[in-house]
Amino acid sequence: MTVVAPGASAARPQLIREINEKVLLDHIRRSGPISRTELAGLTGLSKPTVSAALGSLERTGLVHVTGQRTGVPGPAASLYEVRPDAGYVLGLDVGREYLRGAISDLAGTVRARLSVRTKAGDAMARIQELADLSTTLATETGIDVTQLSQTVLGSPGVYDPRLDALTLTGRLSGWDSPATLAALRDRFGTSLMIENDVDAAAIAERVHGHGRNVDSFAFVSVGTGIGMGLVLDGKLRHGSHGVAGEIGYLPFTEGSGSDQRDARKRGGFDASASAAAVVRAARRAGVRGASTAEKVFAAAARGDAVAAAVVAEEALLVAKAVCTVITVVDPELVVLGGGIGQAPGFLEAVSQQLHRMAPVMPDVKASVLGRESVVAGCLAAGLDRSWQMLVGRVGAQG
């Protein structure tokens, strides 16, 4: 005997309407502009059901008619798409030297973008600069910060729930203090979401770069710091403790560029293969003008044999790390990012080493997304979260 709770029969049609609206909204987001007939064909819903659901979505301000399709048999069909101004997403990238940010509308169009050199001497000053940057971007977009449906901050480190703080934050002084996270929440409110910066770059790679249509890939960033974003079965993986991809802690400390203090604080591989390590190794080897890793690579490209040896050692270390990833998760693709990872000739040097040591050889490519990749990934993550929230409200508003 089936027992129906009081009011269940009345609630059932409402639940069905809510499900239909969510399904249509998802299709419009992914395939719009799109007609009622096309939506009916994609979803299997009847045209009257589609019309009723579209009317509800129009009343809630989530979709609108954007035009008509002509040139086909029959009357012109109205085309529906997401209302771009139904929400806005703020993406921020917090670095040691630069703060970058952008605002996109709900359709994914970037409305404003800005990069500034930070002058902050501590965590609280950096948070104030992030808030100022956000206000400037909102003003350029023509909105108030209260209209932001989601804010995503790409930051070094991982969240530790036991401490309620970010940990493994690398070279950002004071960023691992619980007071920092509390201040970020106070500034940006409940819409704040924090994503590891390299993971954010991996999201950007999946949405805009070589990772499109690839189910499993590793994004390996080598630059000021070292990290990895890992996408398996189409999903970004964080691991049980949030440290999946923290390859800076691989126990690779050999090489003339290693620094034991850095190794203890930031990991052995980071100490041996980050940009600072390349500079240290080049100076010890006697490379002139080795003030940055970029200059070391430039010297190697000009034919400086000593600089070339430093670059070769760097390629060997990175190849060892990538080989480790290959043997553990066997990705279809490895993407090299960061200032060193994208340096001219570095991809070829790493690939040559991998051919010697790896049991299998995945595709290995250099990212083409550049310095805005973290912000792009934050925007993509924020759009997904915003849609989840908006879809969740459809039934309540309907």
| pLDDT tens sequence across 63-78 | 888 887 766 666 778 8
pLDDT at 70: 66
Judge whether residue 11 has pLDDT over 80. Answer: no
Q: Are 283 and 290 in contact (CB under 8 A)?
A: yes
Q: CA nearest 236: which of 266, 205, 267? A: 205
Judge whether residue 253 has pLDDT over 80. Answer: no
pLDDT at 68: 79
Q: Are 79 and 67 in contact (CB under 8 A)?
A: yes
Give the other-Cβ count within 10 Å of 80's Cβ.
Answer: 26
Helix extents (H) in 243-304: 260-266, 268-273, 275-285, 293-301
Placement of tokens 């849609």 in the chain: 387
* CATH superfamily, region 212-368: ATPase, nucleotide binding domain (3.30.420.40)
Q: Which two tokens stand for residue 267?
A: 């990991």
pLDDT at 208: 94
Q: Does domain 8-82 correspond to CATH entry 1.10.10.10?
A: yes
How far apart CA 149 and CA 145 sit, in angstroms, is 9
What's CA 177's distance to the chain center, in Å? 23
CATH class of 86-201+374-391: alpha beta
Domain boundaries, the chain: 8-82, 86-201+374-391, 212-368
pLDDT at 3: 40
Q: CA nearest 198: which of 241, 168, 233? A: 168
Whether this prediction's pTM lies above 0.95 is answered by: no
Confidence of residue 148 (pLDDT cuts 50, 70, 90): very high
pLDDT at 226: 94
Q: pLDDT of 91-142, one tens digit each? A: 999 998 999 999 999 889 999 999 999 999 899 999 999 999 999 999 999 9
Q: Which two tokens stand for residue 120?
A: 């902050």
Helix extents (H) in 209-345: 260-266, 268-273, 275-285, 293-301, 305-329, 338-341
What share of the chain has pLDDT > 70, as a percent? 90
Do 8-82 and 212-368 fold alike per CATH?
Answer: no
pLDDT at 69: 72
Contacts of 65 (CB under 8 A, 6+ apart): 58, 78, 79, 80
